Amino acid sequence: MAALAAAVAVGTGQGEGAASAPARRTAAVRPLSGKVVVIDPGHNGRNHAHPKTINKKVPAGPFRKACDTTGTATSSGYAEHAYTFDLATRLAALLRAQGATVRLTRPNDRGVGPCVNERAAIGNRMRADAAISIHADGAPRRGAAST
């Protein structure tokens, strides 16, 4: 673990003279070692089946808002939750390969929630260096009239 800490120091430009050659190699290969990233893949896959749960108002800073929503989908039916979960798991693998400790706010795409306040709390509990919330909102087809 000490080698990883040294590698982070090298990455920030601190203590470069003190880092050993193996630590420098580690920093070059795994520049996110020691960093914690929380990825929120957004809406969960079964939210649509539990409207009472996801419509419940929860604290969201100075106001309250719905726990979650169902998200959107393409006109051919590709759901936002499926897209964002796929993207989140691919991103997690890339970040882990760079040395980051990565936590998703939900383990799969077959559940309900967690609520927006719980997703934020996960990042806070993990003392995350970065939190990434993924959404894929829609837009009208090019040339289509919008209201």
Distance of CA 103 to the CA centre of its chain: 7
Strand partners, 130: 37
Residue with smaller CB distance to Zn ion, 34 or 109: 109
Give 101 or 117: the residue with its C-beta nearer to Zn ion: 117
Contact between 113 and Zn ion (CB under 5 A)?
Answer: no
What minimum distance in Å lies between the beta carbon of 1 and Zn ion? Answer: 37
Query: Rule CB under 5 A: is residue 135 a binding residue for Zn ion?
Result: yes
Choose the binding region for Zn ion from 57-65, 70-78, 87-95, 121-129 (rule: CB under 5 A). Answer: 70-78
Q: How far is the CB of 136 from Zn ion (least distance, A)?
A: 7
8 Å CB contact between 118 and 65:
no
71 vs 113, beta carbon nearer Zn ion: 71
Residue 129 near residue 37, CB atoms below 8 Å: yes
For position 46 contacting Zn ion by CB under 5 A, the verdict is no
Our finding on whether 24 is near Zn ion (CB under 5 A) is no
Q: Which residues bind Zn ion (CB under 5 A)?
A: 42, 71, 135
